Structure formats: structure tokens, C-alpha cells
Amino acid sequence: MSTVFRMGASALLMILVMLPLPGWSAETEDHPLISRYPGAVALDREEAAYQEYRLITGLVADSLDFESMDLAGTLTRIRYRNPPERSSHEILANYQQALVGAGGEILFTCRDKACGPSYAGSRWGRFNGTIHLPGIGGYLAARIDAEDASAYVAIAVAKADHQITVLEVEAMETGLVQVDPDALGQTLDRLGHVAIPGVYFETGEARLKAESAEALAAMAAILEARPAMKVWVVGHTDSTGSFELNASLSEARARAVAKALVDTHAIPSARVQGYGVGPLSPRASNTSEAGRAQNRRVELVVRP
């Protein structure tokens, strides 16, 4: 992650200054992005230069499952003992205020029983290593964007301790995938469907990234070379999170691609229709990040 990003966001998040820091542990440093709550004592810290991580972004209704985002990058996780005179709610609220003040986007938050029943608090740890949340305290997930990088922050606050997890995601290196419309078109003619590489969306959203321009131009070229062809634009996801969320997201993404073809490349709307199938048609196993990456895709499918 760039020095500019670290210094800019770090300075903003240092607004967490309320009391002297009697519990400051010199042996364990805070993450440069976010300072510890005043009076908190660092208990342990782990770091990994590259780590796959499932950020919890919601709770699935009427179940003990989580909604989440698959991420990968530099991971730092620090656990602190709470100051005895401060409540878990106060600690979480101050972190949330600091993140918002730094321009961060709160992706999800819950408190107390809204985070799930106390008897199932250990499932947080089994899912991604989050501390046990026993129905007293809370959790938030947030994202901070900069020009060249993003950071995702998860903060879990229990009665006695709290945990800060920061995953730093470097900006995507583009220009590595060559999109050949002729070869893709031949595959479409032969198989009746083809996955289009290089279609990128904002994480967890249906907004196309600028890096998708080459892939959109390739799709337009395929259709322009086949003026009688009509296609379905089909969105696919991996199986992480609820089926309902994935089905909705995949359809929204497919429709965004179809709209871009119409608006930007003047493809008649009658020729492109967007639909989503969520995780129903995987290309690989969803048990690994490599497999999940293959399953997140956009395809063109020939319509009769």
C-alpha cells in the first residue's frame, strides 16, 4: 500500500484522542491506519503479507450464516484488552466515528443480540478468525478508498476485549489480460456461450470499473460482426454469502453490462438482455479462492 494512502488516512483516524494512554504497550504497535482506543492494552498481533480473507458484511436472516466478501491482500489483526471504565458500545461507536471521519464507508454494523445469539458467538471465529461475540458488544465492517489502494477494516468489540482487522488491497494491475474479440466470437459460435475476461466491478456492487472498457468493446465487436445474433448477458458469482444476495448481485451486474453495451456502444437493446444465475453454474470448486475467482464471471449466451 502506498505511503500517501497510509499517511493520509492515518492522520484522519488519529481523532481517537479522548484520554491519556496509560495502557499503551510499546511491544505491540498499532496499525498505521488506525490507532487503538485510548487506554486499551494490546494483547497480540498477527500479520501476513498475503492473505485470503472473508470480510463479514451481514447476517443471513433466520440462520447462523454470514454474508461476506472474498478479499485478498496484506492482513494485520490486533487484539486489545478494553479499558475497564469504557463500555463496548462506547468503544465501537468511537471507532465508527473515526472511520466515517476519515472518509470511510460503513458496510455493516450490528450490536448485542443483533449480532446473533450468545450461544453461537464462536461461529465468528470459525468463519474468519473474529473474536467470540457473545451477544454483548458489536461489530462493524468498513472500507476506505484511496486513489491507488483500498483498506477494509473489521472491528469486533466484546465485553472484555476487542479486535481490529485491517486488510490492505493494492490497486488492480490492469493490461495483463488480452481480450481477443475474434477468438471469443469463434468460441461463442462453436459452443453457444463464452466467458468474457476483463469485466471488473466494484467489490460487492454492480458498478462497472473503468478497467472493463476493453472487455465491453470486445463484446460490442462480437455483436457488430454478427448483426443477426441476440444474446443473454449472464452474470455468475461464487457461493460465498447467501443465495439470494448472489442471485440479486449477479443479475444487477449482468444488466449493468447490457446497459453499457446499449449506452456506450449503441448495441440495440433488443439484442442484449441481462440475467443472473448467482452460484448455480460454477466452473470450478468454490472451496478455494482460485476456484471462486473463476466462478465470478460474465458470459454471453446465444439466444434462439
As a whole number of angstroms, the distance between CA 267 and CA 35 comes to 51
pLDDT of residue 146: 64
**Is there a domain that residue 128 lies in?**
yes
* pLDDT score of 170: 67
Task: Note whether 51 and 70 are within 8 A (CB).
Answer: no
Q: What percent of the chain has pLDDT over 70?
A: 86
- Indicate whether 214 and 281 sit together in one domain: yes
> Is residue 20 domain-shared with residue 77, that is, in the same domain?
yes
Flag whether pLDDT at 58 surpasses 70.
yes
Mean per-residue pLDDT, 8-16: 39
pLDDT at 6 exceeding the cut of 50: no
Domain boundary among 148, 170, 192: 170
Same domain, 160 and 226: no
User: pLDDT confidence of 11, banded at 50, 70, 90?
Assistant: very low
Q: Is residue 175 part of a domain?
A: no
**Domain span holding position 225:** 181-302
Same domain, yes or no: 93 and 12: yes
Q: Is residue 32 part of a domain?
A: yes
Our count of domains for the chain comes to 2
Give tens-digit pLDDT for 84-141: 999 999 999 999 999 988 888 899 999 999 998 888 889 999 999 999 998 889 999 9
Q: Which residues pair with 234 in a beta bridge?
A: 275, 299
pLDDT greater than 70 at residue 177: no
Q: What is the pLDDT of residues 235-285, one digit of tens each?
A: 999 888 889 999 999 999 999 999 999 999 999 999 999 999 999 999 888
Do 130 and 193 share a domain, yes or no? no
Q: How far is CA 38 from CA 15, 113, 144, 161, in A?
A: 11, 26, 22, 13
Residues forming a β-bridge with 201:
208
CATH code of the domain containing 264: 3.30.1330.60
- Other CB atoms within 10 A of residue 27 CB: 6
pLDDT at 230 over 70: yes
- The continuous run of DSSP H or E covering 53 comes out as strand 41-59
212 with 295, same domain: the answer is: yes
For residue 71, CA distances in Å to 23, 45, 106, 235, 250 come to: 32, 20, 16, 19, 18
The mean of the pLDDT values for the chain is 85
Q: Are residues 123 and 247 in the same domain?
A: no
Structure confidence at residue 124 (pLDDT): 94
